[in-house]
Amino acid sequence: QVQLVESGGGLVQAGASVRLTCVASGRTISSHAMGWFRQPPGKEREFVSAISWDSDQTFYADSAKGRFTISRDNAKNTVYLQMNRLKPEDTAVYYCAAYTGSTNNPYSRGEYGFWGQGTQVTVSS
């Protein structure tokens, strides 16, 4: 089992930057691709970004491209999401997840077997 704990959320103004951190425990995540998803108020959980186990590949939703950067430190069992130029539409609960699927589709939330509890990010205009 992998336990994931997100942190770094909060209330910020539009245009600000926030870095989310996801720390894993229970076992190493070094062999897992990792992803970030978010769930805006009243909406479905959606893909934000993912990173391969070796950081060789990164994936972004169109809404995140050019503003968000995913990274990881396997030695610290940690994944990060740097979010810049935040917009009110980025307001959501952000979740970290560990990929456990077999279809090689990092965009699909069904491919992730371990999830954190989420951290709220609220962007005011």
Residue with tokens 């965009």: 107
Is residue 55 within 8 A of residue 35, CB to CB? The reply is no
Is residue 4 within 8 A of residue 99, CB to CB? The reply is no
Render pLDDT for 7-66 as a digit per residue (tens, 0 to 9). Answer: 999 999 999 999 999 999 999 999 999 999 999 999 999 999 999 999 999 999 999 999
23/1: higher pLDDT:
23
Q: What is the pLDDT of residue 112?
A: 97
Helix (H/G/I), strand (E/B), else coil: 87: coil
10: closest CA among 83, 76, 77?
Answer: 83
